[in-house]
Amino acid sequence: MSDQRFDPSVADGRWQRAWDEAGTFRADSASNKPKSYVLEMFPYPSGRIHVGHVRNYTMGDVLARYKRMTGHEVLHPMGWDAFGMPAENAAMEKGVHPGGWTRANIAHMKSQLKRLGFALDWSRELATCEPEYYGHEQALFLKLYEAGLVYRKESEVNWDPVDMTVLANEQVIDGKGWRSGAVVERCKLSQWFLKITQFAEELLDGLGTLDQWPDKVRLMQENWIGKSRGLQFAFDLSNGERLEVYTTRPDTIFGATFVAVAPDHPIAQQVAAMNCDAAKFIEQVKRGGTTAAELETAEKLGFDTGIGARHPFTGDYLPVFIANFVLMDYGTGAIMAVPGHDQRDFEIATKYGLPIPRVVAASADEADKPFAGEAESGEGVLVNSDFLDGMSVEDAKREVIARIEAEGRGKGQTVWRLRDWGVSRQRYWGTPIPFIHCAKCGIVPVPKDQLPVVLPEDVDFQTPGNPLERHPTWKHTTCPSCGAEANRETDTLDTFVDSSWYFLRFASQPADRPFDPAEVAQWLPVEQYIGGIEHAILHLLYARFWTRALNHLGMIDFAEPFASLFTQGMVTHETYSREEGGREVWFGPEEVTRGKDSATLIADGAPVTIGKVVKMSKSKKNVVDPDAMVDRYGADAVRWFMLSDSPPERDLPWSEAGIEGCGRFVQRLWRLFGTVQPGVSGADQALDRKVAQTVVGAAADIEALSFNKAVARIYELTSAVEKTAPSASRNAAIRTLVLLAAPMMPHLAEEAWTQVGGEGFVADAAWPEVDPALLVEDEVTIAVQVKGKLRDTLTVAKGLAQAELEALALASDKVQRSLDGAPVRKVIVVPDRLVNIVA
């Protein structure tokens, strides 16, 4: 047995350098091996990787290394989603250039990833902030423009009057700019859009083909796309106008007690022009939340316009309200409100004393059943609805649509929640949109031979607003069509565009075009994509759209980018805090001494409160530094911990005891690897069978991304080998253990590989082969019961005759003691499973 400890501080770096020098993980597109493309969502270069990154990339790395061992040519690349607001924030706060800040962060994070020994093809590394990448993105954007999938129109936006920039909905907090604190204004600007709605039906139908995606992700995308069949019709208004509304529930039309319009609907604007109170109400609404999620949770507010809308069947006039929860960009910006069966309508009706009739009930007997403080979903049969009474919901929908259409008041329609993708951003650190504005020619695409349109380096962040707009020279150019003076487009692209095609560029990187279709076809679709559930909608939906759009243009021959998707759980940690000066102060794990049921602050020895185990975050300081863990325990122990215990789709609670245990197991394996004894002979069939079962089981577990199960099998085999006397079987089992450990603990495995007689890198070795005969069980364990209680077990040959099983069971000393002389009345034998003795 080896008397020396495995020293990761030496071994890790040695093998990482050796892999780099040999180009071990470079993918060869020309290889005739079966291709496997394993990809984790690339990170934003914030400055440091966190343990969530480590878990994500460790999972992908194990799969990539395993695929190499099973004879695949593997593409496992890494890059950086490098544009975005944090870099501009750093420029404003720290006086640094976004490019310098970003590239310094990339260098540091790359060194952190390398320390963990990931089998990455660094020769294909890309950063979206480099012209070599975004120039090709500009070329693709122009291709989409030529195909009619890019357009520009005036759109309402959130405008921060102090920072002089457009804000995303998520950057508006309580109606104010998240940075400046200024009251956000709603104004209209000309914006660039991608016509994702043209692919709405395809994107929805395509979800049905993604059977290797989590159901919850597919459902989230389905709801986001939001296909619904309903009725669009017009109310006659008391002011002589007509108001178009759209409803997905025309069956509930007799339950409508008011009509509501969005604050920016033309009706609302007309009323506001004549009524100061209405204008104040609209201003109040605009200062509130702007996201659909915020509107869902905000107090529902309305303003009675004094206008009536004539019900198409009863003739009654319903009040028309301006409501804060109605969105102008969904349907017609106006709704028929049915408070009995829509919670938002219910809250408005309750607040303003409007009727709340029931028009759908479980049965006709419940037509007068009162509401229990909230709206009901509206499943059952129609009640209190004139000619619809007694009908099912679906029959009533069809009947109302048919009558409205017959009267020429409206038409049944399919509508989509999905809206075209607004990609304009009024900021510097992003891909310049490749268009020129000419007073004579209008909007002109930048000629392809003038790409990339490169960002200027000399920019000023001290003045609020878009640095490109106020740059003294950059935006001034000449029109490619007429040669007159013209201006460049100063908006840059949404960073989601950068991540919508990067997986194609990883697969193929010619200098003169975004990718080579033939080379891309070698690798795509991505066999396994791994990333967080937080990207379930936007990133994944946009990537699916770009892929379909490029397929539509004939540039690629597949429509879905990711064949299989896995969303890993988060890494969590308990929190530590205490109240100081009337506010809660948080402390990091390294600042605390943790007892069994209590914790104290190292600085002063005073107690701190142990909080919940939650997602690691900088704000709560419950983060663990991966570098510190690698320094203390080595890369393999950190990797092993990320794969242990919790199923990978669930959250993983970080524990010091857990990582310490992983460090001990690394040393335990190292000691075991040192116990190979040359010259010994002899076979151990039980151990051989255990090895074969472990190899096959671990392979299936890794393929299924059930890494914790593979880990458990390796623990079991390790224990079995430790308990076995020296023999040829034991030596072979140790060699197999090295190979099984290689995808998970690659540095330890490389160090041990030559020790057990291996040649070359273990990273290039094949996954162990198994004799199929060893997987056939020739022995079984029989449970022996007396009067229904387990009294003994027997290990016997599989298929043993019932009479022999009965005789062996009755001969058992434990059975005889249990019978204590009582006569046996009956023996029930279940072959290969059970003997039950009835006394």
Contact 440, 144 (CB under 8 A): no
395 token code pair: 């029959």
Quote the pTM value: 0.84
Q: Which of 434, 462, 495 is the last residue of a domain?
A: 495
Query: Does residue 562 carry a pLDDT above 60?
Result: yes
What pLDDT shows up at residue 771? Answer: 92
CATH number at residue 491: 2.170.220
Distance separating alpha carbons of residues 651 and 740, to the nearest angstrom: 25
Mean pLDDT to the nearest integer, 789-803: 90
Q: Which of 479, 495, 511 is the last residue of a domain?
A: 495
Distance separating alpha carbons of residues 172 and 185, to the nearest angstrom: 10
What pLDDT shows up at residue 624? Answer: 85
Mean pLDDT to the nearest integer, 146-154: 96
**Same domain membership, residue 607 and residue 486:** no
pLDDT single digits (tens) 209-234: 999 999 999 999 999 998 988 999 99
- Asked if residue 610 belongs to a domain, the reply is yes
- The Cβ-side half-sphere exposure at 134, using a 13 Å CA radius, reads 25
Query: Does residue 174 carry a pLDDT above 80?
Result: no
pLDDT single digits (tens) 349-375: 999 999 999 999 999 999 999 999 999
**Same domain membership, residue 353 and residue 239:** yes
Contact 504, 544 (CB under 8 A): no
CATH number at residue 762: 1.10.730.10
Which of 92-96, 502-506, 572-576 is modeled with the greatest confidence?
A: 502-506
**Same domain membership, residue 391 and residue 332:** yes
Per cent of the chain over pLDDT 70 is 98
What pLDDT shows up at residue 184? Answer: 83
By DSSP bridging, strand 779-786 and strand 834-838 are parallel
pLDDT single digits (tens) 594-637: 888 899 999 999 999 999 888 888 788 888 889 999 999 999 99
- Asked if residue 448 belongs to a domain, the reply is yes
Among 18-22, 102-106, 821-825, which is the least confidently predicted range?
821-825
Band (pLDDT 50/70/90 cuts) for residue 89 is: confident
**Same domain membership, residue 320 and residue 451:** no
- Asked if residue 78 belongs to a domain, the reply is no
Q: What are phi and psi of 623, to 5 degrees?
A: -105, 150
Query: Does residue 21 carry a pLDDT above 70?
Result: yes
Query: Does residue 735 carry a pLDDT above 90?
Result: yes
Neighbours of 493 (CB within 10 A): 23
- Asked if residue 215 belongs to a domain, the reply is no
What pLDDT shows up at residue 1? Answer: 41
What pLDDT shows up at residue 795? Answer: 87
Distance separating alpha carbons of residues 721 and 730, to the nearest angstrom: 6
**Same domain membership, residue 459 and residue 402:** no
Paired strand residues for 583: 580
- Asked if residue 464 belongs to a domain, the reply is yes
Query: Does residue 178 carry a pLDDT above 80?
Result: no
Query: Does residue 280 carry a pLDDT above 80?
Result: yes
738 token code pair: 């090295």
Q: Which of 495, 528, 558 is the last residue of a domain?
A: 495
What pLDDT shows up at residue 297? Answer: 61
234 token code pair: 């017009």
**Same domain membership, residue 799 and residue 703:** no
Query: Does residue 462 carry a pLDDT above 90?
Result: no
**Same domain membership, residue 240 and residue 151:** no
What pLDDT shows up at residue 417? Answer: 85
**Same domain membership, residue 302 and residue 163:** no
Range of the domain at 385: 227-416
Residue with more model confidence, 526 or 292: 526
Domain count, the chain: 5
- Asked if residue 240 belongs to a domain, the reply is yes
Contact 81, 495 (CB under 8 A): yes
Which of 3-12, 276-285, 598-607, 629-638 is modeled with the greatest confidence?
A: 629-638
382 token code pair: 């129609």
CATH number at residue 237: 3.90.740.10
Distance separating alpha carbons of residues 726 and 807, to the nearest angstrom: 36
Query: Does residue 10 carry a pLDDT above 70?
Result: yes
Letter string b/e over residues 760-798, b meaning 16 or more CB atoms within 10 A of that residue's CB: ebbbebebbebeeebeeeeeeebebbbeeeebbebebee
Residue with more model confidence, 347 or 597: 347
Band (pLDDT 50/70/90 cuts) for residue 486 is: very high
User: What are the helix (H) ranges across 302-434?
Assistant: 343-351, 393-406
What pLDDT shows up at residue 161? Answer: 85
**Same domain membership, residue 405 and residue 429:** no
CATH number at residue 798: 3.10.20.590
**Same domain membership, residue 428 and residue 388:** no
Q: What are phi and psi of 727, to 5 degrees?
A: -170, 170
What pLDDT shows up at residue 91? Answer: 87
**Same domain membership, residue 333 and residue 352:** yes
Per cent of the chain over pLDDT 90 is 78
What pLDDT shows up at residue 3? Answer: 60
- Asked if residue 669 belongs to a domain, the reply is no
- Residue of 728, 618, 630, 634 whose CA lies nearest to 684: 728
**Same domain membership, residue 327 and residue 405:** yes
- Asked if residue 408 belongs to a domain, the reply is yes
Mean pLDDT to the nearest integer, 490-501: 96
